[in-house]
């Protein structure tokens, strides 16, 4: 008896946004993640059937942070990469041309609720981020407060500028994806 299997590929695309200590880039990346996660899953996962796992995430490393898109499915990574870039370009164009200040404020309120809910509540959980700052040598103990303050001041124009600068990144294509 022959067993057939369907090939499975995974693609992780990382868009570097800046140093880990930059609270502005961190917040903007998390807000972009919040805005794109459902549309990305709907478009690439459901409509285009590119993968059974599709999602976004803000990733942190020792010295840098950025925005990651993951797609796992049976399609070749080069094709999936082109569809990811197409989605991001379309999303950014829609943001630039269609998002009103009112819609932006609604999305910001939604993100604020998720952001505040994700903050640690108990002393044990409050200590973990502090210890992580000590171990990493960053000592940025006020990052959550700084990000909350920045979120209050964030404008649609600021966010558009952030994503438009990064739109150039989506024009790049890895060399070894044949």
Give CA–CA dist 146/98, Å, rounded. Answer: 29
Backbone angles phi, psi at 134, to 5 degrees: -70, -50
Distance separating the N- and C-terminal Cα atoms of the chain: 33
Whether this model's pTM surpasses 0.95: no
**Token pair in block for residue 78:** 């080069």
pLDDT digits (tens, 9 = 90+) for 145-177: 567 777 888 899 988 988 887 665 555 555 555
For residue range 41-65, what is the model confidence (pLDDT) as tens digits? 999 999 999 988 999 998 888 778 8
To which H or E segment does residue 145 belong?
helix 143-153
DSSP-derived 3-state class of residue 45: helix
Its CATH architecture, for the domain 9-168, is: 2-Layer Sandwich (3.30)
Contact present, 48 and 29 (Cβ < 8 Å): no
Helix segments in the chain, DSSP class H: 23-40, 77-98, 101-118, 123-136, 143-153, 156-167
For residue 1, pLDDT over 70 is answered with: no
d(CA 37, CA 20): 22
């Amino acid at each position: 008896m022959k067993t057939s299997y369907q090939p499975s590929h995974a693609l992780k695309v990382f868009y570097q946004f800046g140093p880990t200590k930059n609270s502005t880039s961190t917040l903007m990346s998390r807000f972009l993640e919040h805005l794109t996660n459902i549309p990305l899953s709907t478009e690439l996962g459901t409509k285009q059937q590119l993968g059974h796992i599709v999602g976004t995430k803000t990733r942190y490393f020792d010295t840098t942070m950025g925005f990651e898109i993951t797609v796992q499915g049976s399609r070749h990574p080069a094709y999936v990469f082109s569809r990811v870039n197409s989605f991001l370009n379309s999303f950014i164009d829609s943001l630039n041309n269609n998002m009103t200040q009112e819609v932006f404020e609604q999305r910001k309120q939604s993100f604020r609720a998720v952001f505040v809910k994700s903050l640690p509540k108990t002393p044990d959980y409050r200590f973990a981020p502090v210890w992580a700052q000590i171990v990493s040598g960053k000592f940025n103990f006020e990052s959550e407060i700084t990000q909350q303050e920045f979120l209050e001041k964030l404008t649609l124009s600021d966010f558009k500028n952030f994503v438009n600068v990064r739109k150039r990144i989506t024009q790049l294509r890895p060399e070894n994806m044949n």
